[in-house]
Chains A and B, each alone.
Chain A
């Protein structure tokens, strides 16, 4: 694997390989010294054009646990504020010869572009409303630990699918793992033609009891102003997952941050069925596994690691 740009690029076997690797890092996490020397001397750049808590902190901690040198760039307060283009920013950071660039960007396809410009391995940490592959991998990892396998499991994705990159990546990933998918939300928040991804679309929670897993999405407040739904009250009345709707044997997931009282009631967030805290914990080990697969796994093989700045670099003026 040269870059992680989308879930679409991964086969089931490749997804499983990353998850198996994550299991081994979970074991490292239980040790007193939670650090391994795998990426010593290599540089990881995180470049975030949007605010993020979970994704940025877990990628940063993952890089540190693997002993990489870390450069964290946030668009706010950087030269991006001064109007520097994405291409020029990437060229600037590439001068440090990073082994990996982890990119969060408000526009679809940004990671694809950067992969074409940089020598580093590129990790898409969210591009617009397009994809969020590391989230999908950590969600599959979390569910696999709970259920053993996703094969034939019925997963409902509920809420604002239109504006959700998590929904898109998770639909593809859950489908690849053999799950049976239903998408539920108000009609204006379900993209036209989504059925072609191989999921059922409904606008009612009436059959929610069929679900083994309920995956709830965040509803942003500005959607009211754009008339996607008339009011938060009416949205909650029809689509909120609460203790009345969530059955005892059903698992609940959410990518965070949660709007309590909107898409989820407070009591289900704190219920034993909620996997929200497990998702965050999984985020760390899965992101360690992603960096490992991109930067170190190919070292095990004979092929040289592509995009491995430290290994390829020959300082100017010195013999190769």
Chain B
């Protein structure tokens, strides 16, 4: 399906030109300096610099700036309905736009969970009223995420659910997942899986290893994740189903997905910026605001395995697992704090700073993985090819900024990047053909 089928607020298509931008769209094979002409919300033309006929439209001096296909995040928590004190559709989509995203998939572990067609319809109406980027909604696999009965998956699909996930919790019963995979043949829709063995994870709050040993914090062993992935990949292979593994954190998990892909299982997976940039050493600070999430930050060898997976394609995409929490849920001791960190506003800048500028991966690969989250859900990736809906992230790759200094678009401030100095910043985002975001201090100089 096309990205344009996802919901967002209706508005005027943008008419503007990005003068002299360095355009990079690896999948469309575009890498050159262009005047990017956007008319009525479509990429009208990629003209030679200075050549575009742009009478009467806004001109933006993009010389020295980069234009990328805007990003797609298959894993965010918008906390609506029920937890609007953390985030809602408006603030969450603003955060996405500020991070250069044109589309996101919202998880269903709300209060109550998104388990009925009416829930999906209400959320879609909410997105059409308030979203500044395109939003797709997932429904839960099991009613109320209780793991006992399947939701009405076919009716949910007809109402517009883009897929299914009990994210936040694993599907404990292998039989329940098997039934969902069987039913998927009827209704379609990828099943996205939070992989964890609840018995092995116990009351764990961080990665099990030398750091948890010293801190006296209960550990979540890597095998809690990898054994469940192996089980679910076997089920998907057996039933011919399509699964997407969420937030890989451990080396063993990357290997489990690699083996399943080699065996022909229809499996895709994602990794988050925080797992690609940080390790459990950070937890020594006992700061839950930035460093408590599930799955937990793991060891340096796990981080290296994730990077290798990103490089060789075992890991299809970057997903932020943007998980906003209110201050009173985070300003408590580590063990008592809520799991999760926000990430939409910093994902690109953090990975550019920590991986691209350090020479670990190249920029083109990062861009591919930043939009790769659409395909597992059957959605076309954003593209800068003329004729496409305008979904553009305009970035200054040299801009240095300190995260949190100017506040956040998100309602919550539990960013894992809080206080970090990053290089590379999104200045403007076009999403669904509309101007979704402009950095407040970004002066829109008119080209001479």
Q: Are A109 and B214 in contact (CB under 8 A)?
A: no
Q: With an 8 A cutoff between CB atoms, is A110 at the interface?
A: yes
Flag if A196 contacts B210 (CB, 8 Å): yes
Residues 172 to 214 of chain B near chain A (Cβ within 8 Å): 208-214
Question: Least Cβ distance of A285 to chain B in Å?
Answer: 27
Inter-subunit contact A87/B334 (CB<8 Å): no
Q: With A112-B286, A192-B219 known to touch, is A107 a contact of B213 (CB < 8 Å)?
A: no
Enumerate chain B residues within 8 angstroms of A193, measured Cβ to Cβ: 208-213
Per-position 1/0 for A114-130, Cβ under 8 A of B: 00000000000001111
Contact partner, B334, options A108, A165, A168, A197, Cβ 8 Å: A108
Which chain A residues border B219 with CB–CB below 8 Å?
191-192
Total CB contacts across the A-B interface at under 8 A: 72
Beta-carbon nearest neighbor of B284 in chain A:
A8
Is A76 on the interface with B (CB-CB < 8 A)?
Answer: no
Q: Does B281 contact A (CB under 8 A)?
A: no
The answer, among B209, B211, B328, B335, for a CB contact under 8 Å with A85, is B328
**What B residues does A191 contact at CB under 8 A?**
212-213, 216, 219
Contact A131:B216 (CB < 8 A) given known A86-B333, A108-B334, A196-B210: yes
Q: Bound complex: CA of A86 vs CA of B333, how far in Å?
A: 9
A105 CB within 8 Å of chain B: yes
Asked if A128 and B216 sit within 8 Å, CB to CB, the answer is yes
**A311 sits at the interface (CB 8 A):** no
Give the residues from 66 to 106 in chain A that come closer than 8 angstroms, CB to CB, to chain B. Answer: 85-87, 105-106
A128 to B208, CA, bound (A): 17
Known: A165-B216, A168-B214. A109 touches B286 (CB 8 A): yes
* Chain B residue at smallest Cβ distance from A165: B216
Contact A197 B335 (CB under 8 A): no
On chain B, the residues within 8 Å of A36 by CB distance are none
Q: Is B336 an interface residue (CB 8 A)?
A: yes
Check: A113 CB closer than 8 A to any chain B CB: yes
Chain A residue numbers with a CB within 8 Å of B334 are: 107-109
Contact partners of B385 in chain A: CB under 8 A: none
Flag whether B331 is at the interface (Cβ < 8 A).
yes
Chain B residue nearest to A88 in the complex (CB): B328
Q: How far is the CA of A197 from the CA of B216 in the complex (A)?
A: 13
Tell me the bound Cα distance from A105 to B286 in angstroms. 14
Does any Cβ of A come within 8 Å of B332's Cβ?
A: yes
* Chain A residues whose C-beta falls within 8 Å of the C-beta of B336 in the assembled complex: 107
B213 adjacent to A128 (CB under 8 Å): no
B277 within 8 A of A: no
B357 CB contacts on chain A under 8 angstroms: none
Give the one of A87, A108, A164, A192 with max B CB within 10 A: A108
A147 close to chain B: CB less than 8 A: no
Q: Which residues of B contact A107 (CB under 8 A)?
A: 332-336
Chain B contacts for A131, CB-based, 8 A: 216
Q: Which of B214, B217, B218 has the most CB of A within 10 A?
A: B214
CB atoms of B213 and A105 under 8 A apart: no
B215 touches A108 (CB 8 A): yes
* Contact across chains for A130 and B208 when beta carbons are under 8 A apart: no
Residue A277 lies at the interface, judged by CB distance under 8 Å to chain B: no
A194 interface residue, CB < 8 Å from B?
A: yes
A27 vs chain B, min Cβ distance (A): 35
Contact of B332 (CB < 8 Å), options: A87, A130, A165: A87
Chain A contacts for B211, CB-based, 8 A: 193
Give CA–CA (A165, B213) in the complex, Å.
Answer: 11
- A192-B208, A192-B219 known; A197-B331 Cβ under 8 A: no
Given contacts A85-B328, A85-B332, contact A108 B210 (CB under 8 A): no
Chain A residues with CB under 8 Å of B331's CB are: 85, 87, 113
Rounded to whole angstroms, the CA-CA distance of A150 and B401 in the bound complex is: 50
Per-position 1/0 for B325-346, Cβ under 8 A of A: 0001001111110000000000
Tell me whether A129 and B213 are in contact (CB under 8 A). Answer: no
- Of the candidates A109, A110, A192, A196, the one having the most CB atoms from chain B within 10 angstroms of its own CB is A109
**B285-326 vs A, Cβ < 8 Å mask (1 yes, 0 no):** 010000000000000000000000000000000000000000
The answer to whether A108 and B213 touch across the interface, beta carbons within 8 angstroms, is: no
- When C-beta atoms are compared, the residue in chain A nearest to B327 turns out to be A87
Across the interface, B217 reaches (CB within 8 A) one of A86, A105, A129, A164, namely A129
Cβ-defined partner of B333 (8 Å) among A105, A192, A194, A196: A105
The residue in chain B whose Cβ has the minimal distance to the Cβ of A87 is B331
A127 surroundings in chain B (CB, below 8 A): 333
CB of B331, distance to nearest CB on chain A (Å): 6
Q: How many angstroms between the C-alpha atoms of A128 and B206 in the bound complex?
A: 14
- The winner among A107, A112, A164 for most chain B CB atoms within 10 A is A107
| Residues of B with C-beta under 8 A to A168 | 214, 216
With contacts A85-B332, A87-B331 taken as known, whether A108 is within 8 angstroms of B214 at the C-beta atoms is: no
Mark each residue of chain A from 125 to 144: 1 if its CB lies under 8 Å from any CB of chain B, else 0. 00111110000000000000
Using known A-B contacts A129-B217, A130-B217, A192-B219, determine if residue A109 contacts B333 with beta carbons closer than 8 Å.
yes
CA separation between A197 and B208, bound complex, in Å? 15
A residues near B221, Cβ cutoff 8 Å: 192
In the complex, A165→B334 CA distance in Å? 16
Nearest-CB residue, chain B, relative to A129 = B216
Closest residue of chain A to B221, judged by CB?
A192
Contact residues in A for B286 (Cβ distance below 8 Å) = 108-109, 112-113
Kindly provide the distance from the CB of A109 to the nearest chain B CB, expressed in whole angstroms.
3
Q: How far is the CA of A87 from the CA of B333 in the complex (A)?
A: 10
Could you say which residues of chain B place their CB within 8 Å of the CB of A87?
328, 331-332
Say yes or no: B328 contacts A128, CB within 8 Å: no
- Determine the chain A residues whose CB is within 8 A of the CB of B332 once the complex forms: 85-87, 107, 113
State the CA gap A113–B218 with chains docked (Å). 19
Say whether B214 contacts A197, CB under 8 Å.
yes
How long is the Cα–Cα vector from A87 to B216 in the complex, in angstroms? 22
Which residues of B sit under 8 angstroms from A110, Cβ to Cβ? 333
For residue A111, give the distance in angstroms from its CB to the closest CB of chain B: 9
Cα–Cα, bound, A194→B212 (Å): 9
How far apart are the CA atoms of A86 and B335 in the complex, in Å? 13
Contact A108 B208 (CB under 8 A): no
Q: Return A83 CB to nearest CB of chain B, in Å.
A: 11
10 A-B pairs besides A168-B216, A194-B213 with CB distance below 8 A are: A86-B332, A108-B334, A109-B215, A109-B286, A109-B334, A127-B333, A128-B335, A192-B210, A192-B212, A192-B219
- Of all A-B residue pairs in the complex, the 4 with the closest CB atoms, nearest first, are A109-B286, A129-B216, A107-B333, A193-B210
16 A-B pairs with CB atoms under 8 Å apart are A86-B332, A87-B331, A108-B215, A108-B334, A110-B333, A130-B217, A131-B216, A164-B216, A191-B212, A191-B219, A192-B213, A192-B219, A193-B208, A193-B211, A193-B213, A196-B210
